[in-house]
Structure 1
Amino acid sequence: MIETACLIAFGAIAAALLMNLYRLARGPAVLDRVLALDTMVINAIALVVVVGVFFGTGLYFEAALLFAMVGFLSTVAFCKYLLRGNVIE
């Protein structure tokens, strides 16, 4: 039963990633592209968690946590660069 749920979740996350990829390519503004990239990071984290549930190991959850921290910091740094022109003051 859990395998079927993981496969359905995998398909839904893959569809969400494709929609985010479309928004990343066709975004009318730079901030729309940043938001699409941040949402892609969140969907990739969900994908890693689903793979961890599917295989039944905790290693993927630690990888998802590290990926979340790096994704958050890169989004904040990129937004700060767009607003102010530099990252480090």
Structure 2
Amino acid sequence: MIAYALIFAFACYCAALLFNLYRVVKAPGVTDRVLALDTMAINAIALIVLFGIYEGTALFFEASILYAMTGFVATVAFAKFILRGDIIE
């Protein structure tokens, strides 16, 4: 039964990634694109965790934590770039 739930979750998160990719391409402003990229990072983290559950190994959970930290730093850098126009002062 868990296998069917994992397949359904994979499909949902893949669809969410596609919708976010559309939003990155067709968004009216830069802030919408940054928000869509941040949401894509969160969906990618969820896919990594789901794949870790599917494989039954803890290695993917550690990878998802590293990706979460990298995604957070990237979101902060994008936000700083939008506010100030420069990342490094």
TM-score where L is the length of structure 1: 0.96
- Structure 1 residue 3: deviation in Å? 1.2
Matched residue type, 1:74: A
- Structure 1 residue 87: deviation in Å? 1.5
Structure 1: which 5+ residue stretches go unaligned? none
- Structure 1 residue 82: deviation in Å? 1.4
- Structure 1 residue 86: deviation in Å? 1.5
The equivalences for 1:31-46 within 5 A come to 31-46=31-46
1:62 matches 2:62? yes
Inter-partner Cα distance in structure 1 for 2:27 and 2:84: 21
1:12 matches 2:12? yes
| Partner in structure 1 of residue 88 of structure 2 | 88
Inter-partner Cα distance in structure 2 for 1:88 and 1:23: 28
Deviation string, structure 1 residues 12-51 (Cα, Å, up to 9, x no partner): 0011001101100100001000000000000000000000
TM-score where L is the length of structure 2: 0.96
Structure 2: which 5+ residue stretches go unaligned? none
Aligned pairs, how many? 89
- Structure 1 residue 55: deviation in Å? 0.6
Inter-partner Cα distance in structure 1 for 2:20 and 2:47: 14
Inter-partner Cα distance in structure 1 for 2:53 and 2:33: 30
> After the TM superposition, which parts of structure 1 deviate over 4 Å for at least 4 consecutive aligned residues?
none
Contact 1:51 1:60 (C-alpha < 8 Å) held by counterparts: yes
